[in-house]
Amino acid sequence: MVVENYDHIMEDESSITSKKRLSVLIVDDDKTNRLILTTLIKKLNYHVISAINGEDSIRKFKSDKPDIILMDVMMPIMNGYDAAVEIKRLCGDAFVPIIFLTAITDENALAKCIEYGGDDFITKPYNSVIIKAKIDAMVRVRELYNKIADSRAELQEHHSRLQLEHEIAETIFTNITNPQNLDIKNIQYMLKPMSITSGDILLCSRTPSGGMHLMLGDFTGHGLSAAIGAIPVSDTFYSLSSKGYSIGDIAFNINKRLKETLPSGFFCAASLIEADEEFRTVAIWNGGNPDIIITRDNEEPIRVSSSHLPLGVLDSSNLDRSVEFIELTHGSKIYMLSDGVIEAQNKNGDMYTQKKLDEILLSAQKSDTPFDAIKQSIEAFCKGTQQFDDITLIEVTADTLENPDNTIIEKGGLTLPPGSWSLSMRLEADALRKINPCPLITQSIMEIQGLSKHRERIYTIVSELFSNSLEHGLLKLSSDIKSNPNGFIEYYNSRELALENLTDSYIEITLEHNPVVAGGELIISVKDSGQGFDISQEKNKLTENINSHGRGIALVKSLCSEINYSNDGSEVKAHYVWQTKNQA
């Protein structure tokens, strides 16, 4: 073997001593070649390990863990190609560069070196300058690869920590207790969260005098980070409402809790109203939310603009508790909204605006169902566009509040009448790939209403409706696949693949609960953005289905008093009625 330009490998002594001492494995069956290469590599200040063939190189790789490998191609027992393949397998995620040593100059043969795991090659006769350059280049690539690997590991650690914090926040939010002791038949609402958990909250409570408190809150930011603020807010709101505090006092105490517990810059725009039992007057406190609009027959709408700063901005000593009183007539309607309504955008980037809302509101009052007209207008305006904020709109009709029945529910040592409450969740494609919302929803119901004896039934209803909407409505899967041998495996493999490719889709889950005689009615609504599916194929009774699949909806029908599909199957509403006595 000839070594050219030997003198060029000599380098400045300080450069040599400063270099990190890495190890190089030289694999060659020719003793002379190994000796010459060993001399060259040591001159470059690398530690040298030798192997006489491919099989020996694998043993040396396992025992000595070299940083770089110089591999001859043609050797006895095991050639360089096969050795390279095995070493790369043993490397796993680590990067150990392999430079092939070969006398072959044929392009196809050189390409084969790369194909079998080589990262570069050196042709014989060796040139010391080229050897040095290629080893140095591989060292730089190796260092860069290790830096990227370290960064990836660090990012993964941050991601795992963030995911854990996300799960903790969800658990805390799930366990928020919402004691509600009123009938809110007077209220219609639209709640469209931007992410899994809404930063907008709607809280309602009966007062000891028989009246009603209602709060619409809009927290800074979106999703779970915003929803965390619902913990101190809901706790304060329900606790003070049940004790008879005014909404001015409630606003003051919520502001105090937010300033004490949440970081600077985190606040909640809030609208609060307080009505007496006959809805003759309402007291209004508006801090940072859009105008509250009150419509009365044959009169100009009344507007109550924000006259206070959002909660959590000022020190409590500077918060104004004053409220504005408005006299109502029977049938008057009160509209409260978050800024997500008027700032909602269409495909052209135009905002919905307060002006458009006013126009729709004015024309909608001529309708028998004005709230539905307004809601449809907003949905039509935003159709096909990305949502940038949580959207909440509430209509409260001025009508005498019904007295709650005397049915009592035992929950956590407290006696609570069946409450009127609602939950809403919207999952986009990315969330649908990662999250099963059914346990979260079921636990939320348990915390709010305490229906522990109905947990399994409610979970079954929610999970079946959600699965049907996802798998048939969005993913277009057919249950007939399960009839084949290994059908369930094939079905769920198809499900995972379809989920990975899912885009521009969503599922909305809404739960409404209303008291009934000696119990309550839970209405579970599931809506998806798909084109629907053939609901006529769904069996009405469990006895009609003898297969091991396709029993979900029949099971839901057996548990619910009513179940209705609409929009070709893309929307379903199930009614579950429970009682405190003679529970099924």
In sequence order, the β-bridge partners of residue 409 are 416
Separation of alpha carbons 210 and 274, rounded Å: 11
Domains of the chain: 3-148 (3.40.50.2300), 178-404 (3.60.40.10), 411-584 (3.30.565.10)
pLDDT of 406 reads: 37
Question: Which stretches of the chain score pLDDT less than 50?
Answer: 1-19, 174, 177-182, 404-415, 539, 541-549, 582-584
pLDDT of 10 reads: 41
How many CB atoms lie under 10 A from the CB of residue 347?
11
Separation of alpha carbons 263 and 185, rounded Å: 37
For residues 61 and 70, the answer to whether their CB atoms sit within 8 Å is no
For residues 502 and 474, the answer to whether their CB atoms sit within 8 Å is yes
Separation of alpha carbons 139 and 96, rounded Å: 10
Separation of alpha carbons 554 and 484, rounded Å: 22
pLDDT of 197 reads: 61
For residues 357 and 339, the answer to whether their CB atoms sit within 8 Å is no
- Going by their DSSP bridges, the two strands 333-337 and 391-397 should be labelled as antiparallel
How many CB atoms lie under 10 A from the CB of residue 10?
11
Separation of alpha carbons 486 and 473, rounded Å: 23
- How many residues does this entry show for the chain? 584
Please give the single-letter amino acid code of residue 222: H
How many CB atoms lie under 10 A from the CB of residue 78?
16
